Structure 1
């Protein structure tokens, strides 16, 4: 750490692992699956209490309205938890945004609910890496930063629906990202501590296919088979895959008894375009496929959904931010590289606002979104120190 100034060494010296780890264990014990509103309310209250040690106002923001197509092909409102926002020095001329999420992929009735130790440095538990460890170390880093008479302003946004696409928090993310000089998002690092570089966009869709029912034996020719049409649409969409654009038909719902031509089917599919022009190409491809299948099978198709995570390319401002973060990591003795990834996160939404973002500032670990999820606990204080140093250097960058 010889490259650190005495001021920087004093800033990070108080950061220790035990309190960061204890918060992580406490928070991981709360099931906060995206649909568990009671658990999310518990987590929001705990987070509000913990982050209140920082200066500024903590508030809980109501989720925006979100609809989802149900098994009958009808849009229904989906409930979400409230989102936490902390605003520090809102009057400051230079401000950043730090984001994370309180929800996990583990439902209230999922069997993976408790933590245990694999070895002295490896904690196995739900949401430990993704991202309750990240939230805890973010708080530790900000608390250390606040000890040094800071002037940089910032907002912290912790949403309740990131794991399902941030549909109820997207307007809030856009509002808070506006005008920020940089963003830090606390998704876990990739295996080996690698940081995520560019990300594709992501869009989730439901195509509701309405046909015409008829007796399967007596007069099937008078029916219009919605399941067959949905299957044909799935094949047509899958054929649109190309370099930089993945298309995944994921599920078909609907159907009818075996003796009836089914008049309803719902095709759910996902697209992941690597660049904005590929997102536009995908939109044209979807429209063309729907028109073709509608005519071929004499059915009606109504499309719901869209691209909720725009592609996240890397521009010069993002390269510069990574340079600052990687230099800080090197000065702390933390080797850092970055690479493109196929996953998406709130970093996509922030980048779409023109704000440079590093979106894997969280803990190191692995096997996220599975019952094997684990956290490397020595990354907790390391990444907290990185947060404090990056905030300090962002402040000094133009001072």
Structure 2
């Protein structure tokens, strides 16, 4: 018997590796140790989660984000990880927690979490409460301090079972997932660099809050701005050769064509969330509001529309942008339009054979451990997340391994089911053990 050299781009290896996983016994002694270790540490993990939740770590509360990072750093230091809290000054954020261990077997793993939440210091939700014996309500319980705790619990179990030293693992918990720093290339550099070194990426967001689903594909998001100009004149002159249709008519044409040509595209959405138009405009500097002056008897001179575009693959995103640009170029008489896509876009997590295969491995482990089957999340139910930045670099990636079974994400009603902490940690740890120790 020999250990197969990992090469995830090989379809032959993928098929053989699948059979290898199927060949593992539920009675494997190491796996039993892993499961027992999770049970031994679950209570302390929930205590850690409660402590993390009581620290406000809204993205813009840099001190709080760093405090949560230091809390988790201390736990990973105990497990022998080399840890660092990075400085986020260059992109206007708190920075990230990066932890690494180098082993000599199997694939290189990247585990992804984030330290920040949407609940800033002014939020009315600052503490946790137990709604019953297992449902916790609190800021970031599901998105995603619960996922961060699951990462640590899985690492504790692997350590206690005596298998962690074999593994090459990099953990990146970002400090700005909810509100990315600028420029994005600096904000996500640590994450992307880690992805370039990894073979497999595991994300611990909470997916669609269903413990029976895992994310193999996420839609990316890009902002866009449409600027339209026309000839101002008395309304009696609209549609003449000299005056044309005006900015508002041209804007309505463009938006209607977006709908007609793209609304039936599966998993693609494009939302104009903001519009002002008239004779003169005064948009706010933060791009979330503004005012317009105009009169019913004056042909509109300008409009501004802002929106977002969400696509399930890079190819779909490129095609949608091209279609939108073509529509914008076909102007009504005497009007001009410009479509600008924002630079701070989240890429999609494109569905790949590797992602699908990794889901199957996860599903096998879940069933072997008695937790039932797991299927893929509908990408319409999975928004943009940090794991998407790995899509171009890793061979296999899945997300949604975090604390699930709650709801109300990003609202004062955010909850999570604490019973899923141990379940997700057990599946994760056993999955990693099997991936490292597969023999043919």
TM-score scaled by structure 2?
Answer: 0.77
Pick from 4, 11, 19 the counterpart of residue 44 of structure 2: 19
SS across alignment from 1:282: helix
Which residue in the other structure is 2:265 paired with?
A: 243
Which residue in the other structure is 2:317 paired with?
A: 279
Describe the shift of the 1:372–1:336 C-alpha distance in structure 2 as closer, same or farther (beyond 3 A). Answer: farther
Instruction: Return the alpha-carbon distance in structure 2 between the equivalents of residues 216 and 163 of structure 1.
Output: 47
1:203 and 2:221 aligned: yes
Pairing of 1:1-399 with structure 2 (within 5 A): 3-15=26-38, 16-63=41-88, 79-89=92-102, 94-147=107-160, 148-149=162-163, 150-164=165-179, 167=184, 169-207=187-225, 209=227, 211=229, 232-239=253-260, 240-244=262-266, 245-252=268-275, 253-258=289-294, 265-293=303-331, 296=333, 298-299=335-336, 301=338, 303-305=340-342, 308-339=345-376, 340-342=378-380, 343=382, 344-367=384-407, 368-398=409-439
Checking the alignment, whether the CA contact within 8 Å between 1:248 and 1:271 is kept in structure 2 is yes
SS across alignment from 1:256: strand
Which residue in the other structure is 2:286 paired with?
A: none
Instruction: Return the alpha-carbon distance in structure 2 between the equivalents of residues 384 and 286 of structure 1.
Output: 44
Describe the shift of the 1:63–1:278 C-alpha distance in structure 2 as closer, same or farther (beyond 3 A). Answer: same
SS across alignment from 2:85: strand
- Gapped runs of 5+ residues in structure 1? 67-78
Instruction: Return the alpha-carbon distance in structure 2 between the equivalents of residues 264 and 19 of structure 1.
Output: 59
Matched residue count: 386
Checking the alignment, whether the CA contact within 8 Å between 1:84 and 1:159 is kept in structure 2 is yes
CA shift, 1:41, in A, is: 2.5
Instruction: Return the alpha-carbon distance in structure 2 between the equivalents of residues 234 and 161 of structure 1.
Output: 32
TM-score scaled by structure 1?
Answer: 0.84
Output the aligned Cα RMSD: 3.3
Checking the alignment, whether the CA contact within 8 Å between 1:197 and 1:314 is kept in structure 2 is no
Which has the greater radius of gyration? 2
SS across alignment from 1:383: helix
Which residue in the other structure is 2:4 paired with?
A: none
Q: Which moved more, 1:203-212 or 1:241-250?
A: 203-212
Checking the alignment, whether the CA contact within 8 Å between 2:359 and 2:398 is kept in structure 1 is yes
- Gapped runs of 5+ residues in structure 2? 1-23, 276-288
Describe the shift of the 1:38–1:301 C-alpha distance in structure 2 as closer, same or farther (beyond 3 A). Answer: farther
